[in-house]
Amino acid sequence: INYPFTNDSYLNNILNIEIYSNINTFIGILRYESNIYEIIEWGTITGTKDLILYPENIYFIYSNDYSFVILYNDGSIISWGDEYKGGNINYPNTIVYNSNITLIVNTEQAFAALKNDGSVITWGSPDYGGDSSSVTNNLNNIISLYIFLLISSKFQSSLGA
């Protein structure tokens, strides 16, 4: 690996590397022996190093084609990337960061998050599910969220389906 690593001795003290991606950016979280974390990034979305606080408390990093969302162990979330495609958690809805999120799913340009009280919040491009205001009254007592993938008939036939 040439970038972002500079030499082999740099790798010797790393205990764990997690890499996340979307269509144009990679994020790496490196954990060293001394339990020190480092955030690395490459691609077109930048500024990740400044946004990821407390990497030791990250539960999971989710992505869509244009943005990332971190879900922390305490249910807090933070997002970044294209502000109209899920990168700005305040568009089009305002969300409290300590919002007890338990699960996040995505489309190409939006995110939906399930809260521990069974409600769902959405943000990102309205055309891709980021605006759920027309069904807000139906988004209560939700148990889980799923993404359904449509597979073209051409792809299905190549799988023998």
> Which contiguous run of DSSP H or E holds residue 124?
strand 120-124
DSSP track, 78-138: EEEESIIIII-TTSSS---SS--EEEEEE-SSEEEEEETTS-EEEEE-GGGT---GGGGGG
- Dump pLDDT digits (tens) for 89-126: 765 443 445 678 888 999 999 999 888 888 888 899 99
DSSP 3-state of 23: coil
pLDDT tens digits for 15-39? 888 888 888 888 888 888 777 888 8
* The pair of three-digit structure tokens given for residue 37, joined into one six-digit string: 């974390």
* Amino acid identity for residue 28 in this structure: G
Full-model pTM: 0.74
Contact 142, 114 (CB under 8 A): yes
Residue 155 identity (one-letter amino acid): F
Matching residue, tokens 């809260």: 115
Q: Beta 37-43 vs 25-32: how paired, if at all?
A: antiparallel
